[in-house]
């Protein structure tokens, strides 16, 4: 997430940077599914964050990458980080 934030801060500089953003977003999207597998989801906070906002944010981020739209990418990244913060606040000890 930190690497993704750094890439998006000033906007990806070239196609290689956009590809790296896409890779990070795809990994976080996969993580959204892993976090919901095998009974890992303990409550609605987790489900809303991992199964909802994280997944939705990464899908929007991937769409922004496809369009090479830095503003949309940053907006989607805020959804991603908000989902992480909500879940971590409730569950990270």
Identify the pLDDT of residue 60: 98
Beta carbons within 8 Å of 43's beta carbon, 6+ residues apart: 90
Identify the pLDDT of residue 44: 96
Q: What is the pLDDT along the chain (93 residues), one digit of tens a residue?
A: 899 999 999 999 999 999 999 999 999 999 999 999 999 999 999 999 999 999 999 999 999 999 999 999 999 999 999 999 999 999 988
Cβ pair 67, 12 in contact under 8 A = no
**C-alpha to C-alpha distance for 16 and 45, rounded to whole angstroms:** 35
Identify the pLDDT of residue 67: 97
Identify the pLDDT of residue 11: 92
Identify the pLDDT of residue 93: 81
> Tokens 């930190």 map to which residue?
2
Identify the pLDDT of residue 54: 97
């Amino acid at each position: 997430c930190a690497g993704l934030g750094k890439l998006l801060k000033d906007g990806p500089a070239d196609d290689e940077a956009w590809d790296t953003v896409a890779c990070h977003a795809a990994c976080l999207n996969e993580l959204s599914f892993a976090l919901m597998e095998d009974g890992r989801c303990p409550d609605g906070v987790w489900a809303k964050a991992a199964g909802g906002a994280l997944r939705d944010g990464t899908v929007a981020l991937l769409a922004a990458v496809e369009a090479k739209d830095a503003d949309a990418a940053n907006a989607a990244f805020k959804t991603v980080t908000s989902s992480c913060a909500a879940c971590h606040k409730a569950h990270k000890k």
